[in-house]
Amino acid sequence: MNHDTNHNVQSEVHVTHDGHHVEHNGNGHGNGHDHHHKESFITKYVFSQDHKMIARQFLITGMMWAVVGGLFSVLFRLQLGYPEETFPILETFFGDYAKGGQIQPEFYYALVTMHGTVLVFFVLTGGLSGTFANLLIPLQLGARDMASPFLNMLSYWFFFLASVIMFSSLFVQTGPASGGWTSYAPLSALGQASEGSKIGMDLWIVSMAMFVVSSLLGGLNYITTILNMRTKGMSMTRMPLTMWAIFFTAILGVLSFPVLLSGFILLLFDRNLGTSFYLSDIVVNGEILPNEGGSAILYQHLFWFLGHPEVYIIILPAMGLVSEVMSVNARKPIFGYMAMVGSLFAITILAFLVWAHHMFVTGLNPFLGAVFVLLTLLIAIPSAIKVFNWITTLWRGNLRFTPGMLFAIGFVSMFISGGLTGIFLGNSTIDIHLHDTKFVVAHFHIVMGVSAFFGMFAGVYHWFPKMYGRFLNNTLGYIHFWVTLIGAYLIFWPMHYEGLAGVPRRYLDLRLWTSFNQFTDLNKMITVVSIIVFAVQLMFLFNFFYSIFKGRKVRSTNPWGSNTLEWSTPINPGHGNWPGDIPEVHRWAYDYSKDGRDHIPQTEPVNPAETKH
């Protein structure tokens, strides 16, 4: 009974929302489901308040950044693979940054820093969450749009502003920030210590602040929409796992990004206003600084309080997308739905309690270190549950290997490989040796870089028909998948061995060292493979943009035979998503192959004769 009243309240919310919506657009369409707006180019494609358009904006902006970030990695890989070679073409393009055709140390560090910043924040946070939260929340929950389409639009435009500022920092005379994506103080606080810590660093901080604003606007909107705007019958436990994943992601972001912002503001103060939050006892470049009493470690606490949840902000949406894509293409319910939700929840809670595992060798109190070891390794339990549940989802399925499905399987493989090396690093004893080595680079690239990309690709291939009414080319999709999967393992698997040998991260030339110079051939191989993998991503981009205009057309509303609501909309849904009433939901999203039926959409009422589960 209570349930019913709830739903009625929710329907009222829809109405109010639609009312607001009309006010915003001011073009007097009578109700929410009438989508014959008279939209100008500006309101439709630029300052759009339609969640689907905003999703596309996030996706395409993210892709642009992915090209930039990927290109940077190819450049610094050239240096790592071929430290003795010269590439005159680099000097043509980058001038003194690549004097004599060799990447200079400052340039190298700027490339590394920007590669990390761009991919972690702009691609895998903005691009991934921004795209799929915006696209899927209203469509899968049965809402006409986000709770606040206007804030949603602002969220994109703050992201855009952050992008513009970050991009412009690439062109200042002293170069962009170059202290690593973590920008540890005091290096990031002192212009005297590094060229990249001059104006480039201020721009980096301001850009990141704008990015935080964008994330918060987006996140609050996602949470509000998920809690309040589910259609009638869509109880929380009937939501597809994508929704749960995005919900927890948004909570993580809303609670942890402000801490990062505070850390950045203190850094800005230390840089420009003479405060000493992070500075004490410093003699830099022969100059004795007056600052006393600050703590360089404080910055790390503030940074990692977001920095660690950030990796879950990246991976949770990917997990959600993979769960959905895998279930649909296995023609089987996701195994252990409640365990999947529970493990997402456990990961979310633990994500806040493990940040200091990045700081085992900072002089942290060993007892505190021990607490963080325990909490960190606890995360392996929900992660293991998820992996076993995915594998069991495949068991006795009837698997269709669409490119999206392949990427979902690849995701699980990558997540296993990268997750297991996390058990090495989360154990402080081993971390003493492996901390800040190539082992860490290999670990996090596999577990959150490649995995998250795989989740994102699974999502793009799967929902492209919903976004553009056309399919991506399958053959190119298969090539994309296989080259990326094999390439990613070739790049990152052997890199663990470099880490075991103690090779530090962020070393651009190992020839100085007798302990680390034994990997010349390996580094060449990695460089060659990363160029190939990068080229294949460009091919994917081509497939993407080509297919928007020329791809095979979608001819049925539900091409994958999926249960979720987004496939009950027209092939090219307008603003408002459903031309008629919003559909009502009667069941969970995973009734595949039940009672001899291939799939039973969420909108279908439960037949009393059906099997219970």
Partner 1 sequence: MLLGFVIVFQIAKASEYVAILRGEEKTRNESNRINAFLLLAFLILGLIGVWYCNERLKGKILGEAASDHGERIDSMLYITIAVTGVVFLITQILLFWFSYKYQAREERKAYFFPHDNRLEIIWTVIPAIVLTVLVGFGLYYWFQITGEAPRNAMVVEVTGKQFNWEFRYPGKDGVLGKKYFKKVDEANNNPLGQIWEDPANHDDIYTTLEMHAVVNKPLKLVINAKDVIHDVGLAHFRMKMDAVPGIPTTMWFTPKFTTRQMREKYGPDFNYEISCDQMCGKGHFSMRGVIVVESQAEYNVWLASKKPKYLEAMAAQGSITPAAVPAKDSIGGVSATGTSMRN
Tell me the per-residue interface mask from 314 to 353 with partner 1, x by CB under 8 A, - otherwise. ----------------xxxxxxxxxx--------------
Radius of gyration of the chain (CA): 25
When binding is defined by CB under 8 A, the residue of 64, 593, 603, 604 that contacts partner 1 is: 593
**Which stretch in 127-135, 223-231, 238-246, 586-594 sits in contact with partner 1 by CB under 8 A?**
586-594
CB of 315: closest distance to partner 1 in angstroms? 17
The neighbour count for residue 424, using CB atoms within 10 Å, is 18
Residue 475 binds partner 1 (CB under 8 A): yes
Residue 275 binds partner 1 (CB under 8 A): no
What are the phi and psi torsion angles at 307 (to 5°)? -50, -40
Cβ partners under 8 Å of residue 512, min gap 6: none
When binding is defined by CB under 8 A, the residue of 384, 467, 541, 571 that contacts partner 1 is: 384
Exposure letters 144-173 (e unless 16+ CB within 10 A, then b):
bbbbbbebbbbbbbbbbbbbebbbebeeee
Residue 474 binds partner 1 (CB under 8 A): yes
Identify which of residues 268 and 486 has a Cβ nearer to partner 1 in the complex: 486
Largest CA distance in the chain: 83
Least Cα distance to 183 among 48, 307, 83 occurs for 307
Tokens in use for 7?
């739903």
Give the span between the Cα atoms of 574 and 39, in whole angstroms: 11
**How many CA atoms lie within 13 Å of 92's alpha carbon, on the beta-carbon side?**
4
Identify which of residues 224 and 280 has a Cβ nearer to partner 1 in the complex: 280
When binding is defined by CB under 8 A, the residue of 45, 93, 171, 388 that contacts partner 1 is: 388
- Only one residue has tokens 């950030």, namely 310
Identify which of residues 366 and 580 has a Cβ nearer to partner 1 in the complex: 366
Residue 370 binds partner 1 (CB under 8 A): yes
Element (DSSP H or E) covering residue 17 = helix 2-25
Identify which of residues 58 and 264 has a Cβ nearer to partner 1 in the complex: 264
Binding residue count for partner 1, defined by CB under 8 A: 132
Residue 549 binds partner 1 (CB under 8 A): no
Residue 184 binds partner 1 (CB under 8 A): yes
Contact 130, 218 (CB under 8 A): yes
Helices (H), 32-104: 41, 51-81, 88-94
Enumerate residues 552-581 that contact partner 1 by CB under 8 A. Answer: 552
Residue 124 binds partner 1 (CB under 8 A): no
Identify which of residues 205 and 282 has a Cβ nearer to partner 1 in the complex: 282
- Only one residue has tokens 């940040």, namely 355
Cβ partners under 8 Å of residue 211, min gap 6: 121, 122, 125, 126, 158, 159, 162
When binding is defined by CB under 8 A, the residue of 145, 195, 202, 324 that contacts partner 1 is: 195
Contact 163, 114 (CB under 8 A): no
Tokens in use for 228?
């309040």
Identify which of residues 255 and 284 has a Cβ nearer to partner 1 in the complex: 284
CB of 268: closest distance to partner 1 in angstroms? 18
DSSP one-letter code for 287: E
Residue 603 binds partner 1 (CB under 8 A): no
Residue 398 CB-density burial (10 A; 0-12 exposed, 13-18 middle, 19+ buried): exposed
Identify which of residues 183 and 215 has a Cβ nearer to partner 1 in the complex: 183
Residue 67 binds partner 1 (CB under 8 A): no
When binding is defined by CB under 8 A, the residue of 251, 412, 442, 529 that contacts partner 1 is: 412
Give the span between the Cα atoms of 58 and 159, in whole angstroms: 8
Residue 338 CB-density burial (10 A; 0-12 exposed, 13-18 middle, 19+ buried): exposed
Helix orientation angle between 51-81 and 128-141, rounded to the nearest 10 degrees: 150
Enumerate residues 231-250 that contact partner 1 by CB under 8 A. Answer: none
CB of 589: closest distance to partner 1 in angstroms? 11
Residue 610 binds partner 1 (CB under 8 A): no
Tokens in use for 84?
């003795």
Residue 377 binds partner 1 (CB under 8 A): yes
When binding is defined by CB under 8 A, the residue of 60, 254, 265, 399 that contacts partner 1 is: 399
Identify which of residues 18 and 195 has a Cβ nearer to partner 1 in the complex: 195
CB of 415: closest distance to partner 1 in angstroms? 10
Give the span between the Cα atoms of 319 and 534, in whole angstroms: 24
Identify which of residues 163 and 523 has a Cβ nearer to partner 1 in the complex: 523
Residue 363 binds partner 1 (CB under 8 A): yes
Identify which of residues 63 and 373 has a Cβ nearer to partner 1 in the complex: 373
Identify which of residues 321 and 334 has a Cβ nearer to partner 1 in the complex: 334
Distance of CA 577 to the CA centre of its chain: 26
Tell me the per-residue interface mask from 504 to 543 with partner 1, x by CB under 8 A, - otherwise. xxxxxxxxxxxxx-xx--x------------x---x--xx
When binding is defined by CB under 8 A, the residue of 25, 228, 275, 413 that contacts partner 1 is: 413
Tokens in use for 576?
């408002």
When binding is defined by CB under 8 A, the residue of 148, 249, 417, 568 that contacts partner 1 is: 417
DSSP one-letter code for 612: P
When binding is defined by CB under 8 A, the residue of 87, 157, 345, 489 that contacts partner 1 is: 489
When binding is defined by CB under 8 A, the residue of 35, 44, 586, 594 that contacts partner 1 is: 594
Give the span between the Cα atoms of 482 and 569, in whole angstroms: 32
CB of 58: closest distance to partner 1 in angstroms? 27
When binding is defined by CB under 8 A, the residue of 15, 164, 227, 361 that contacts partner 1 is: 361
When binding is defined by CB under 8 A, the residue of 22, 74, 255, 284 that contacts partner 1 is: 284
- 605 φ/ψ sector (left φ>0, alpha ψ -120 to 50, else beta): beta
Pairing label, strands 287-288, 597-599: unpaired
Enumerate residues 290-309 that contact partner 1 by CB under 8 A. Answer: 292, 294-297
Q: Is 590 helix (H, G, I), strand (E, B) or coil?
A: coil
Enumerate residues 68-107 that contact partner 1 by CB under 8 A. Answer: 102, 104-106
